[in-house]
Amino acid sequence: LRFMTSRLRAMYQAYDGDLTLCLVLGEIASRNTERFYDERRGYQPSSSNGQRQYLPCNALSISDVTGIPRETVRRKLAKLVDLGWIEKTPDDMYVITDRIGTVFAAFDDSQTYDLMRTSEQIKNVLQS
C-alpha cells in the first residue's frame, strides 16, 4: 500500500496533477515498446540496423484500452505533442520521443530505488 500510494503521489506531482495525461503517455510508451519484449522471444533491444523501431498507436486504441473518451485522449495527445514527449506520424499515429528519457530520468531513478527498497522489505517479511 505504501509503495502504490507513494507511486501515485509521485506521478501526480510529475504530471502537475493530470493523472489522465500520465495514463495516456504510459499507454503510448507501453504500446510503442511492446515489440522489444515478449514471452516467446525474450528481450529484443533493437532492429537489424541497430535502431529501435517503435510500434505507433492511435487515439482510438488508447481510448479503447483505457476507457478514456476519445476526445479527452485527443486533447491529451495534443498536450503531449506540445510538450515534445510524443510526436505524431503522417498517418495520425503517435510515438514517444527521446525527450521523455531526459525529462523523467531523475523520476525513473527514484522510482527504481523505491521499487528495490520495497522488494527488499517484502522479501524480509516473507522470510520471517
- Report the C-alpha gap between 100 and 33 in whole angstroms: 14
Over residues 110-127, the pLDDT tens digits come to: 777 777 888 888 888 889
Question: Could you name the CATH architecture of 2-127?
Answer: Orthogonal Bundle (1.10)
Name the least confident of 3-12, 20-29, 50-59, 71-80: 50-59
Q: Spell out the domain ranges in the chain.
A: 2-127
Type of residue numbered 39: E
pTM attached to this predicted model: 0.70
Cell numbers describing residue 30: 507501453
The cell for 11 is: 506521478
Whether 17 contacts 10, CB under 8 Å:
no
Which cell goes with 121?
A: 522489505
What's the CA dihedral at 25, 28, 34, 36 to 10 degrees?
Answer: -70
Tell me how crowded residue 120 is: count the other CB atoms within 10 A of its CB.
10
